[in-house]
Amino acid sequence: MMSTQQGKRIHFIGAGNMASAMLRGLVSSGFSPALLSCSAPAETETQRLVDELGIRAAADNLELLTHCDAIVLGVKPQILKAVCEELAPFLASTNRQPLVISIAAGTTTQSIAEWLKQDPDLLPLVRSMPNTPAQVGMGASGLFATPAVKADQKSLVQQIFEAFGIAVWVEDESQLHAVTALSGSGPAYVFEFIKGMADAGVSLGLSPEVSRQLAEATVAGAAKLCAASSDEEISTLQRKVMSPGGTTEQGVRVLQSEQLTATVSRAMEAARDQSLYLAGEGPGPAKN
């Protein structure tokens, strides 16, 4: 049975990788394709989603907005201002105020409200930070809601983002900089670690194919085990793999002596500082 939230009309402005991942997640989780739509200037992008998912699409961003309950701004940050300015007259003329959801990194709710020519205290707006594993249904998204977002709208947003992974709320918009540094940029850190493991496996005598498969499965399995053991400290899970005097203990000692944790912390601080810089709230990361 379709839930009340799944009966909402949702329009995506943009049909890129993230918007496409979100739409696929929504359809697979039970949202009706007939109530979903997208718009983008490239017909090849929208037609692919129409053929695959059965949603509606248009080249004009304003064509399918009537009666929408939520509008997802799924465009890159550098064109978000232009899209918002195009959308502003529609929001000013409509009798019903749709929820606006932004997935653009580094763009504040204050800026979005200004571009939409809306009072930031009255505009129901959610700013989100999803990440690329959403493309395989395992995204991790941070969410922030303005005071005007109602409980049922917040529930809709939760359901939208849980259609392709997990979703957590932050109480202060500034915390999205930390979300960006952790889960937003985090997949690239993990890819770097997988690559390092795979390359090391090759140097120890494994074939590239076997080494990569083992590295990928090991990281995915460890993450799943960690999530399934959330009542235990991560350090406890680590100790369960380490026998005194064993191979794992020796490997972990090297990682600790090379200060892996401190290196990860510095990487996240640099990503956070760049997020602040892009939002016009900081000088950016220090140049070494």
133-147, 199-213, 218-232, 266-280: which has the minimum mean pLDDT?
266-280
| 179: nearest Cα among 259, 99, 276, 77 | 276
Q: Token digits for 206?
A: 């494994």
- pLDDT for 90-141, tens place per residue? 999 988 899 999 999 889 999 999 999 999 999 999 999 999 999 999 999 9
Per-residue model confidence (pLDDT) at position 4: 64
Confidence of residue 280 (pLDDT cuts 50, 70, 90): confident
Per-residue model confidence (pLDDT) at position 156: 96
What is the homologous superfamily of the domain 5-177 according to CATH? NAD(P)-binding Rossmann-like Domain (3.40.50.720)
CA–CA distance, 66 with 270 (Å, rounded to integer) = 42
Per-residue model confidence (pLDDT) at position 3: 64
Strand ranges across the sheet with 125-129: 56-58, 36-39, 10-13, 70-73, 99-102, 125-129, 139-145, 165-169
CA–CA distance, 137 with 24 (Å, rounded to integer) = 9
More confident residue, 2 or 253: 253
Give the residue extent of every domain in the chain.
Answer: 5-177, 184-278
Neighbours of 47 (CB within 10 A): 13
Per-residue model confidence (pLDDT) at position 106: 86
189-to-59, 100, 145, 178, 240 alpha-carbon distances in Å: 36, 31, 28, 15, 24
Neighbours of 288 (CB within 10 A): 4
CA–CA distance, 18 with 129 (Å, rounded to integer) = 11
pTM recorded for the entire structure? 0.91
What is the homologous superfamily of the domain 184-278 according to CATH? ProC C-terminal domain-like (1.10.3730.10)
Q: Is 18 left (phi over 0), alpha (psi -120 to 50) or beta?
A: alpha
Q: Which residues contact 149 (CB under 8 A, 6 or more apart)?
A: 99, 124, 125, 126, 157
Q: What are phi and psi of 71, to 5 degrees?
A: -120, 120
Compute CA 256 distance to the chain's CA centroid, rounded to the nearest angstrom.
Answer: 30
How does DSSP classify residue 182?
A: I
Single-letter amino acid code for the residue at 260? L
Look at residue 284 and tell me whether its pLDDT is greater than 60. Answer: yes
Q: Token digits for 127?
A: 């700013």
Q: Are 92 and 117 in contact (CB under 8 A)?
A: yes
